[in-house]
Structure 1
Amino acid sequence: MSSNSSAAAALQLCYENVNGSCVKTPYSPGPRLILYTVFGLGAVLAVFGNLLVMTSILHFRQLHSPTYFLVASLAAADFLVGVTLMPFSMVRSIESCWYFGDKFCTFHTCCDVAFCYSSLFHLCCISIDRYIAVTDPLAYPTKFTGSVSGVCISISWILPLVYSAAVFYTGVYDDGLEELSKALNCVGGCQVVVNQNWVLIDFLSFFIPTLVMVILYSNIFLVARQQAKKIENISSKTESSSESYKARVAKRERKAAKTLGFTVITFMISWLPYSVDSLIDAFMGFITPTYIYEICVWCAYYNSAMNPLIYALFYPWFKKAIKVIVSGQVFKNSSANMNLFTEQI
């Protein structure tokens, strides 16, 4: 009898005085501190890193191009992940309780799906942009214009937002799983159970754009190798000014394509475990342990913090822009016209 009472006393609930409260399984103080540090650092990097990317592109006129506007819009999606998703998921993951209410749980889930697909669609548009830029660099300015970039940005935001709102605010995502959903969603929980049909649609919505990006970047790198060989042949002969210009334009576009290709690879590595796990889980009866699910989720979230680090490593203009912004020179009237590129063409 005493053992049962002590077990009941040891049992922690998310809401002690509420019937149907979820059971709380918090970490011990040491791991708890480490997790808050790791997850908090990811949120800070996602917020301030992407804020720097957006500020750089919108402030410096030299970066006002269709490609960089796509990159700025992608940074906006990653910024919103850091603001609206990561802090609340951090508390849920570490405390094992959702303290922010049912309505915000639905909103949080809706944003989670919307910003994921927004990032994916932005990257798909960027891969199309880079494909045109590398395969036909001289005609590129007339093919991928500011208006085309604007259409891509609009589609990359509107479609994911409409899709996620339609799925999660209408409640169709758990058709046929109502009993399981009620059993899992105790007070203090925010677990969304999605049926097999919608999980399959989600996976295909992730897989098809990803496949398109893989095909495009594979072609980009094949063309880049051919261009590099041509440039070697040209440099060994008497080089005309027009051929020299073409070579320098091609080199610049290839370099940009490589950097953005690395961004795509990082996105795939970050989101693939979560996408595969969701697919397997739906068809295997939701057997994934909580800690595996949380690892997959945070791998995906951390992608939003990785992109600014990639730009900082590979883009000299971004390093220069950060120095100008952090030092306060950005407030000078002349800073918007500053030259951020060391190479001229």
Structure 2
Amino acid sequence: KDFLSCTLSLGMILLSVTLSVLAVLTTAINSLVITAIIVTRKLHHPANYLICSLAVTDLLVAILVMPFSIVYIVKETWVMGQVMCSIWLSVDVTCCTCSILHLAAIAVDRYRAITDAVEYSRKRTSFRAAIMISVVWLLSILISIPPLLWRHHKINAEDQCFIKHEHIAFTLYSTFGAFYIPLILILILYYKIYRAAKILYHKRGVSHLSKAEMNGHTIPKSSDREQQSLETLSPPEKSVSEPSTEGDRVRLSAQSPNVQPHRERSLQRQRISGTRERKAATTLGLILGAFVICWLPFFIQEVIVNTCSSCSPSSEMANFLTWLGYLNSLINPLIYTIFNEDFKKAFQKLVKCCNYY
């Protein structure tokens, strides 16, 4: 018995330390993103204001939600009273819903930026970004409040803190509003973004070819605004069309005194286009994959538990799925900034400043 008790205690200590590390990392990384956007003038762009608001939301999850969840899991009972329970659940549901809706708002912003680059660049102002952020927060509150208000009409045990809907209407309202509708929207938009990016990358790959190379047909060059839109999906890379070494230049000069052979240039442009398409697909795959893996299991569980009275997962499984969702607040700032060169440079400057002091 003593050995079993010791093993359980060590397991609980390890679990609490692991969850605490996740909470600290989530706090640190989201704080880094917010600070980088605030202090770096080059990042003062409406698209980055949405990312900053997302980081604020995920930071609230790390500070106001995760610590109470850790205590609840370690104690295996709710010890902070029902008033605190109601406050914690309100913040939890609202912030997690807001984080998900921010991802949908970012998808809408990127879709508009890449499919209507010239017109949307005029509309993409700080004021419009503020309106989008306000709408996201308002929708989050409207989706979260009704199920929480209904909870007050039910009798809850003093040592428990959770939301269970006895009416399927509340389950459908909360789960579809907070996840399933945003999920469908995000999947459709990112599919369209990838198709549009593929076309624009191809345009940019062939737009530098001469009239002779295009059999006498002129292909219009993609605009600067289109290129900026593409860079939200993958970072710019060094063109492979330029000879990288003196030997290459001598070899190319020997082949043709003035210009690179048409066929070779065409193949190089195609390789550039293909590389950028793959990077765009990788970025979008990471965004969608992280979102679906983190949140889909939790919301499937929510539908099953609240529609099937005899279906109840173990506390360990429920805690695992909940924290899998919380993990998205750690992944979001990494995915939405790591592929952007401006963010990388801003992070490096901040880290150097911290090390200096």
- 1:221 corresponds, among 165, 185, 194, to 194
Separation in structure 2 between the aligned mates of residue 47 and residue 81 of structure 1, nearest angstrom: 9
Gaps of 5+ in 1: 1-5, 11-24, 333-345
- Residue 298 of structure 2: which of 269, 274, 279 is its match? 274
Q: Is 1:144 matched up with 2:124?
A: yes
Of 75, 88, 93, the residue aligned with 1:108 is 88
> Quick one: which of 125, 129, 133 aligns to 1:153?
133
CA distance in 1, matches of 2:51, 2:303: 29
Displacement of 1:71 after TM fit?
Answer: 0.3
Structure 1 match to 2:106: 126
Deviations 1:47-77 (A, max 9, x none): 1110111111121111111110000000000
Residue among 206, 212, 219 paired with 2:185: 212
Conserved in 1, the CA contact under 8 Å of 2:19 and 2:70? Answer: yes
Distance 1:298 1:247, change over 3 A: closer
Displacement, 1:26?
A: 11
Larger Rg: 2
Residue 88, structure 1, aligned to residue 68, structure 2? yes
Task: Name the structure 2 match of 1:297.
Answer: 322
Cα offsets for 1:194-234 (capped at 9, x unmatched): 22221111121121121011101101101111112222221
Shift of the 260–57 alpha-carbon distance from structure 1 to 2, 3 Å rule, reads farther
Which amino acid is 2:305 matched to?
D
1:251 to 230, 248, 252: 230
The separation in 1 between residues aligned to 2:51 and 2:338, in whole angstroms, is 16
CA displacement at 1:312 relative to structure 2: 5.7
Change (3 A) 1:67 1:293: same
From the superposition, tell whether residues 38 and 272 of structure 1 become closer, same or farther in structure 2 (CA, over 3 Å): same
C-alpha displacement of 1:44: 0.6
Deviation per residue, 1:3-30 (Å, 9 max, x gap): xxx9xxx9xxxxxxxxxxxxxx998122
Contact 1:133 1:140 in 2 (8 A): yes
Name which of 174, 194, 208 aligns with 1:202.
Answer: 174
Partner of 2:313: 288
Query: How does the TM-score come out when normalised to structure 1?
Result: 0.78
Give the CA deviation at 1:316: 3.0
2: CA distance, partners of 1:312 / 1:27: 41
Following superposition, the deviation at residue 315 of structure 1 comes to 2.8
Backbone CA RMSD of aligned residues: 3.0
Residue number in structure 2 paired with 1:15: none
Assess, with a 3 A threshold, how the Cα gap between structure 1 residues 242 and 167 changes in structure 2: closer, same or farther. same
Q: Indicate conservation of the 8 Å contact 1:174/1:193, yes or no.
A: no
- In structure 2, the CA distance between the partners of 1:250 and 1:240, relative to structure 1 (3 Å rule), is farther
**Which of 292, 299, 320 is the matching residue for 2:345?**
320
Contact 1:57-1:72 within 8 A present in 2 as well: yes
Query: Any conservation in 1 of the 2:203–2:222 contact (CA below 8 Å)?
Result: no
1:111 Cα shift?
Answer: 0.9
Identity among equivalent pairs (%) = 29
